Amino acid sequence: MTTTPASARTGLQARLAARPHGLPAPGDLEIVEVAVPDPTPGQVLVRNLFLSLDPGMLLLMAEGSRLPLPRYEIGAPMHGDAVGEVLLSAHPSLCPGDLVVHRLGWREYAVSDAGAFRRVDRDAYPSPSLHLGFGLVAYVGLMEVARLRPGDTVFVSSAAGAIGSLAGQIARLTGARRVVGSAGSAAKVAHVTGRLGFDAAFDHHDGPVLDRLREAAPDGIDVYFDNVGGEQLRAAVEVMNEHGRIALCGALQHQSTGRPDPGPGDPVRIIAKRLTLRGFTVREHLDKAAEFGQRFRGWLRDGSIVYDETVVDGLVNAPAALTDLVRGRYTGKTVVRLGVGDGRDADR
Amino acid sequence: MTTTPASARTGLQARLAARPHGLPAPGDLEIVEVAVPDPTPGQVLVRNLFLSLDPGMLLLMAEGSRLPLPRYEIGAPMHGDAVGEVLLSAHPSLCPGDLVVHRLGWREYAVSDAGAFRRVDRDAYPSPSLHLGFGLVAYVGLMEVARLRPGDTVFVSSAAGAIGSLAGQIARLTGARRVVGSAGSAAKVAHVTGRLGFDAAFDHHDGPVLDRLREAAPDGIDVYFDNVGGEQLRAAVEVMNEHGRIALCGALQHQSTGRPDPGPGDPVRIIAKRLTLRGFTVREHLDKAAEFGQRFRGWLRDGSIVYDETVVDGLVNAPAALTDLVRGRYTGKTVVRLGVGDGRDADR
């Protein structure tokens, strides 16, 4: 097809205005309205539907990011996972109406070479936002990284969060004997043991984590799915059974403070119990996406898994929502629905 | 055979007299001469030839040992790996003259049920002391725990020590592209790069370990065989390449001080580089003993590996030798030759 002139199209995008120290202050991120260019040959114009919010985005704003992703540059639009719909295509691999996932989030419209976008099944999930979910992270963290075995006791930190809520449920569905979780408030604890079906949970503010974890897992833990680092990681090392395995997925606890995490502590304990600690990201495990997708859609269909999602409306509300996310105000996966809720009319 | 009366036989044994704080002080270990009983039916009497000295013995003396071994009890003889010769047997599985390895070290004579002793090949090595060597630890740490791959750059700490001296050489013999080591003196560094054939080495007292390690391994390291923990472990995490693997074998650095080791540090680095840290002991990997033994004897025969050993004479000299070992006075494997060097006549 040929491109349709649409030079009058504008859209919002978020840019890094200043590098924050810790949590972003008002003004560190700016929302600007920009002209949206037509796609040139080989390019595609996508209208974004949902932007994924992820605590790791804070690290990408910071001066010395240690994540294996390009950091955010001042004055440039930020990147992030998004799902959108092809509006105009100048490449034969994608057609208008296709649903695509990509990394050009934090903007209402994305224009790039077709290779930047990956088509996904429109009918896979009840909402396109589920394509941004962290189920695959939870799945490979348990199955490939921590080598979950039937009968294991599994501990999941940040158990009400985007990854933890799925990790605990998937552990149960794939053979764990007991699943325990930690979360940041009494309400979240109730949510984790109630709606999400964990066997036990505790508020990590509630006294020494080590004591709470011992109560929740009196026979010790075999697998720890770590989303937070810090005191909970050290407590898990103490409570681990011999040959325990720790999947290091995130380090939320110290991320918001900017201070380095002291880490898992004395290696003598790790040696004495023959523990394995392994850091991972989902990108080394994309070969498991098809296997996971099939199982996950089955669990959703038969109601054996709860997909917990917080939806924030409008890109203008995304910066504050990211801060709220890091502060622990939400449960489940947090996404921003774009083109609504900001008093503007998006082109749709 | 029937047992021969030998009730007049006596021998030395070492006992823990007081729990040391840090390094043992004179008097914390006492050497006593005891009567050696005849074996009762089912038992065997062994004259020990060599006792293995191991820095982990310090941990077994301490109040709160975290090793998965029984700690030493006050007033009781200490245990430790030893190799000896059967003198009297009251069990059909062992005959006088058999060479055996066992855990009843720190004594000139060991009497126990035959199951406590494992017969080994008298002709396997030029000296029986080689049966106490840590080659299997080094081998499984590299091959099974760190999953050494051809072309890897390998860093070995305590590279002049009993395990490190073999780990570096075995890494080279099994496909490492570059082998670098650290040691505790200029003389040891020269020994490591000279006699042991490492590509580079540095003295860990010589300025920041991180700088020295970066110079020795400008392209980063893929495998770290950790014998020390502490600053060297943290530096290795910094210098590791993506998907690097750390075999946690020992934590010498903080062992002598009694203070806990702060550990490998911020998990964000471990996640970002997708590192694996795994604590191990040789006991989970004994299924590799035959494979290793065959390869090791081949390397010894054709001169492609140097077996470095320090021999101390006499049990009376063993306590001071253990302190000297922890202080880094020796290279290679340290053993005590029993029944000699103490002015006494051992029954032989």
* pLDDT band of A255, cuts 50, 70, 90: low
Give the span between the Cα atoms of B272 and A281, in whole angstroms.
8
B75 dihedral zone (left: phi>0; alpha: psi -120 to 50; beta): left
Distance from CA of A171 to the nearest CA of B (A): 21
Query: Which residue is closest to A245 within chain B, CA to CA?
Result: B278
Distance from CA of A294 to the nearest CA of B (A): 26
Cα A294 to its chain centre, rounded Å, is 20
The answer to whether B262 contacts A267, with C-beta atoms less than 8 Å apart, is: no
Amino acid in the structure at residue A192: V
CA distance to A48, A170, A283, B99, B183, per residue, from A137 (Å): 23, 11, 9, 54, 41
Q: Which residue has the higher pLDDT, A328 or B104?
A: B104
pLDDT for B347: 46
Sole residue written with tokens 């604590």: B279
Topology at the third CATH level for domain A135-301: Rossmann fold (3.40.50)
- Among the four given CATH numbers 3.30.1490.190, 3.30.465.10, 3.40.630.30, 3.90.180.10, the one describing domain A10-132+308-337: 3.90.180.10
| Candidates A254, A267, A281; nearest CB to B271 | A281
pLDDT for B148: 98
Give the span between the Cα atoms of A81 and A65, in whole angstroms.
18
Q: Can you read off the two tokens belonging to residue A129? A: 């936002």
Buried b (16+ CB within 10 A) or exposed e, B122-145: eeebebbbbbbbbbbbbbbbbbbb
| Candidates B66, B266, B276; nearest CB to A272 | B66
Q: Which residue has the higher pLDDT, A173 or A1?
A: A173
DSSP alpha helices (H): ranges in A198-248? 209-216, 230-239
Q: Are B278 and A275 in contact (CB under 8 A)?
A: yes
Q: Is pLDDT of A66 > 90?
A: no
Q: Which of A74-78, A172-176, B222-226, B255-259 has the lowest mean pLDDT?
A: B255-259
Q: B315: which DSSP letter?
A: G
| Candidates B264, B274, B279; nearest CB to A274 | B279
Nearest CA-CA partner of A11 in A47, A40, A41, A52: A47
pLDDT for A8: 81
Q: Which residues of B have a CB under 8 Å from any CB of A?
A: 59, 66-68, 226, 229, 233, 242-243, 248-251, 254-255, 260-281, 284
Kindly list the domain boundaries of chain B, sorted by start residue. 10-132+308-337, 135-301
Query: Which residue is closest to B68 within chain A, CA to CA?
Result: A272
Query: Which residue is closest to A280 within chain B, CA to CA?
Result: B274
Beta bridge partners of A154: A179, A223
Mean pLDDT for the stretch of residues A291-302: 96
Query: Which residue is closest to B245 within chain A, CA to CA?
Result: A278
pLDDT under 50 in chain B at which residues? 1-4, 6, 346-348
Give the span between the Cα atoms of B3 and B88, in whole angstroms.
6
Give per-residue pLDDT as tens, B167-193.
Answer: 999 999 999 999 999 999 999 999 999
Work out the angle between the directed axes of helices A230-239 and A209-216 (0-180°, nearest 10): 50
* pLDDT band of A250, cuts 50, 70, 90: confident
How would you classify the pairing of strands A240-248 and A221-226? parallel
What kind and span of H or E run contains B227? none
| Candidates A249, A271, A274; nearest CB to B271 | A249
- The predicted complex's ipTM stands at 0.86
The answer to whether B274 contacts A254, with C-beta atoms less than 8 Å apart, is: no
